[in-house]
Structures are given as C-alpha cells and as structure tokens.
C-alpha cells in the first residue's frame, strides 16, 4: 500500500514563500506520476502541479505558473512544492497524490490518482 505524508504548511504573508514536502513510501511500480492538488473551503480540488519519476517532466496549473516549482528527490522518495510570491487566493489545504504509470486518467483531475496524503494547510494572510 502506497503511503504519502505531507509537511511544511503554515501561515505566511502575501509575497512570501513556503516549501511543502511529500514523503512517499512503498512504491512498487517502475514509474509514477506525483501531483499536488489544493482545495479551498467550499471548492473542488484544483490541480497545482505534477512530476513524473524517471523523466522529471513537470506540468503546472495556470494559476501557479511562474510562482511554484515541483521537484523530486529519488534518494529520499520525496516530492517538494516550492511556492513563491504567495497570494491570499493560494490559501487552501494542499494534498499530494500519486499514481503508477499504468493507472488511467488525464492526470489533471483528482480521480486520476488512487493514493493521497492527508493534506497540509497553507494560509496566506497579512
């Protein structure tokens, strides 16, 4: 059973930075896609970014392009989300999720990922 644990959330002022980390354990497939989603109160999951193991291919949601960077450390089995120039509208619970390479889906929607972490709160406020 694949397990994911997020860390690094907190309160930050507008314009500030945070780094979220997702520790992934018990992977068995040779290739995985790991994504970050966020969910604000009363809203649906929003795709933030994803990265593919092996190729390091990255994709970002339109609202975070140029401000957020996703990276991975294969030795540590972690996927990090570096968030810069944070805005109040970035406030949400952030989740990491992962899917084996063979798992179906468009990779932009929550249903494309069978394994999820518990989430970490990010609040951007002065």
pLDDT, one tens digit per residue, over 56-103 is: 789 999 999 999 999 988 888 899 999 999 999 999 999 999 998 888
Tokens at 73, concatenated: 């450390």
Q: How far is residue 110 CA from its own chain's centroid?
A: 11
The pLDDT of residue 29 is above 70: no
Give the contacts of 67 (CB within 8 A, at least 6 positions apart).
Answer: 83, 84, 85, 86
Collapsing DSSP to helix, strand or coil, 98 comes out as: strand
């Amino acid at each position: 059973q694949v397990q994911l644990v997020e860390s690094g959330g907190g309160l930050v002022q507008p314009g500030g930075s945070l780094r979220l980390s997702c520790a992934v354990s018990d992977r068995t497939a040779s290739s995985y896609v790991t994504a970050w989603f966020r969910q604000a109160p009363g809203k649906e999951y929003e795709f933030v970014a994803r990265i593919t193991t092996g190729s390091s291919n990255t994709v970002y949601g339109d609202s975070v392009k140029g401000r957020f960077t996703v990276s991975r450390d294969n030795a540590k089995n972690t996927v990090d989300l570096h968030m810069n120039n944070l805005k109040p509208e970035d406030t949400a619970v952030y989740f990491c999720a992962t899917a084996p390479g063979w798992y179906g889906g468009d990779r932009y929607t929550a249903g494309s990922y069978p394994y999820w972490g518990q989430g970490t709160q990010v609040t951007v406020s002065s």
